[in-house]
Chain A
Amino acid sequence: MIHRYQNNGYNIVMDIDSGAVHVTDEVTYDAIPLFEEGKTKSEIEKILQDKYSLEEIDEAIGEITSLKEAGSLFTEDEYREFVMDFKKRKTVVKALCLHIAHDCNLACRYCFAEEGEYHGRRALMSFDVGKRALDFLIENSGNRVNLEVDFFGGEPLMNVEVVKQLVEYGRSREQECNKKFRFTLTTNGVLLNDEIMEFANREMANVVMSLDGRPEVNDKMRPFRNGRGSYDVIVPKFLKFAKMREELGLSYYVRGTFTHENLDFSKDILHYADLGFKEISIEPVVASPDEPYAIKEEDLPKILEEYDKLAVELLKRKKEGRGVDFFHFMIDLEQGPCVIKRLSGCGSGTEYLAVTPWGDFYPCHQFVGNEDFLLGNVYEGIQNTKVRDEFKLCNVYAKPKCRECFARYYCSGGCAANAYQFHGSITDAYDIGCEMQKKRIECAIMMKAAEA
């Protein structure tokens, strides 16, 4: 399968099943689809001769032929059976999203957790529940060495003492169990102080700092419960935190959400960069279509144009020596994830589970509170194997929309929770999200072409 597109003056040809990416001139760009249709050399010459010289056409056909013979053009998909075999293997758990607090000190308008409460009661996770979750992870992780635990909420810093106790407990078991914990933290920053930053810099492999960009955008969407904006409270703390982590060589992301109300979101990303943040991410809101801030299909042309504009601006800034990393434009064409990882996606419901404050398991944080997806609990393990097995089989080839999509090796089939929210099935795909993902991949590859 071939995907070709033009972006920022580059003609790009992706050979999907090999992962090879080519930049071509005009004659080759025009000849490739004719070659793919099975046209003969003389037929291609005849079709293109008004536009190019015969010599150019023949040279292009020669190069296309040699790339095909080398296995980097018109390659076949040989992974379908492979991924089904993989799914027969024993399930191991290697990552937990610990809902350390179902409570929050902000009242973000778009929050799927409804002010941190997740359609249920306000609660903080006890040390006992958290300890049992870590024990479950150790016991059910098979021979996996690297285990991950994300402290999530609500706002996890509302229960920071339990976070510290659980990190200490996890570290105390690493050596005896031959495991390594990779702890991460997602925070709104309100309760950050020097002591917590120092703790996080010692123990957290990554920190996600939630901020929505420009002050007026952030404060409209991320107010305190009394309606006051949060920007002025959190930005100085985040800047200090980010600088500390940069100096220590530690990872972080400042991460926002854009909505129908700031479709010019490239300005928010550049605002992060102008503030001094180096590792940046922004996600489109996923919301019920009747919400005023929900992204609608008619917003797509503007959104896709914003991504194009952003890619060009980030290239310019990089050339000027003030580049930043935008999560969705980072792509590794030389290695990236292995094929199995690319085809099986995030691992939700199998390798990756969310744990509520009272110890219930769900496939991921976005399913928490939906009883149809309750998988079990930290004391009795996974009991709902029917749902778990549905997730186990949820890979790119199980999704009709993904099977023939050019982006499948880069997007891994998208988000099961979003697909369920919009179509009632985890093997469907959230169409608006797909269009944005495809554009981001095209931009990321264009940037590679520009830097080559």
Chain B
Amino acid sequence: MKHIKTLNTRLGCGECQTC
């Protein structure tokens, strides 16, 4: 790609942190 650079190559188990 000459004109566009994509920053990311990579879009509820409830185990992550929960305001």
**A is bound by B:** yes
Contact partner, A28, options B3, B11, B13, B16, Cβ 8 Å: B3
On whether the beta carbons of B19 and A348 are closer than 8 Å, the reply is yes
Query: A341–B12 contact, CB under 8 A?
Result: yes
Contact call B7/A27, Cβ cutoff below 8 A: no
B16 contacts A337, C-beta separation under 8 Å: yes
Q: Do A23 and B14 have beta carbons less than 8 Å apart? A: no
Q: Flag B2-18 by CB within 8 Å of A: 1 or 0 each.
A: 11111111111111111
Contact A25 B3, beta carbon cutoff 8 Å: yes
Bound CA–CA A449/B4 (angstroms): 12
Q: Which of A357-397 contact B (CB under 8 A)?
A: 364
| A261 interfacial contact with B, CB 8 Å | no
Q: Is A67 an interface residue (CB 8 A)?
A: yes
Number of A-B contacts (CB under 8 A): 83
Binding site of B, secondary structure by majority: helix, strand, loop or mixed? loop
**A409 and B11: CB pair below 8 A?**
yes
Range class of the B interface residue count: 10 to 19
Interface residue ranges of A17-40 to B (CB < 8 Å):
17-25, 27-28
| A334 contacts partner chain B, Cβ-Cβ < 8 Å | yes
Given A20-B6, A452-B5: A339 and B14 interface contact (C-beta under 8 Å): no
A contacts with B, residue count (CB < 8 A): 49
A86→B8 CA distance, assembly (Å): 27
Inter-chain CA distance A251–B9, complex, in Å, is 28
Check: A215 CB closer than 8 A to any chain B CB. Answer: no
Contact B3 A27 (CB under 8 A): yes
Please report the C-alpha to C-alpha distance between residue A449 and residue B7 in the assembled complex, in whole angstroms: 7
Report the nearest B residue to A182, measured CB to CB.
B17
Most buried by B among A22, A25, A92: A22
Partner of B4 from A67, A92, A338 at Cβ < 8 Å: A67
Interface residue ranges of A127-162 to B (CB < 8 Å): 144-146, 148
Question: What are the residues of chain A within 8 A of B8 when measuring CB–CB?
Answer: 19-21, 333-334
Task: Tell me the bound Cα distance from A199 to B15 in angstroms.
Answer: 25
Given A63-B1, A348-B19, A415-B19, also A94-B14 (CB < 8 A): yes
Shortest Cβ distance from A361 into chain B, in angstroms? 15
A53: min CB distance to chain B, Å: 13
Q: Are B3 and A63 in contact (CB under 8 A)?
A: yes
A304 CA / B18 CA spacing, docked (Å) = 28
Residue on B nearest A451 in the bound complex, by CB: B7
Residue of B nearest to A83 (CB): B12
Q: Which residue in A25, A333, A341 is a CB contact (below 8 Å) of B7?
A: A333
* Residue of chain A at shortest CB distance from B12: A340
Q: A80-117: which residues lie under 8 A (CB-CB) from chain B?
A: 86, 92, 94-95
Could you give 6 example pairs across A and B, Cβ below 8 Å? Answer: A21-B6, A25-B3, A72-B6, A338-B12, A351-B18, A449-B7
- 20 additional A-B pairs beyond A28-B3, A67-B4, A86-B12, beta carbons within 8 Å, are A21-B6, A21-B7, A22-B5, A22-B6, A23-B4, A59-B2, A63-B2, A64-B4, A92-B14, A146-B16, A148-B17, A334-B9, A338-B12, A338-B13, A338-B16, A339-B11, A341-B16, A346-B19, A445-B7, A448-B7
